[in-house]
Structure 1
């Protein structure tokens, strides 16, 4: 189940990034950051389940930072 969620969030992030690069319209950049932050969160849960705590903590901090920046982006725009 976690692999499926990771794949969905990765595809969404790539789709939003490709749309922004192709059209030059970056209005969906916050959604791209949200999907990448959620992907990192799912990856950190996977790492904790596989007992690799160092990578789990690194991915958790990365996901929290990305989600914090995303929330600020939604509030300021």
Structure 2
């Protein structure tokens, strides 16, 4: 899980940095999609660690990010 979280966070940071540097925001839906996957993986790992409150908030944030990403596609 830790390796997946690191890979996803690097992808999100790279896409966000690209958008900020070039002022080209065409990859923003992909960034939101990867951020949603990252939040979902974090929520699942929190659920496995028996931290139910933070897991639910991460999963709800992931659902919202999926909605925003699909809406902007």
User: Please, what TM-score do these two structures have when normalized by structure 1?
Assistant: 0.92
Match of 2:17 in 1: 18
Greater Cα offset, 2-11 or 36-45: 2-11
| Distance across 2 between alignment mates of 1:40 and 1:64 | 9
| Distance across 2 between alignment mates of 1:50 and 1:59 | 13
**RMSD, aligned α-carbons:** 0.5
- Map Cα deviations across residues 24-77 of structure 1 (whole Å, 9 max, x no partner): 111100111011100000000000000000000000000000011101111xxx
Where does the alignment leave 5 or more consecutive residues of structure 2 unmatched?
none
Match of 1:67 in 2: 66
Q: Alignment length, in residue pairs?
A: 73
Match of 2:31 in 1: 32
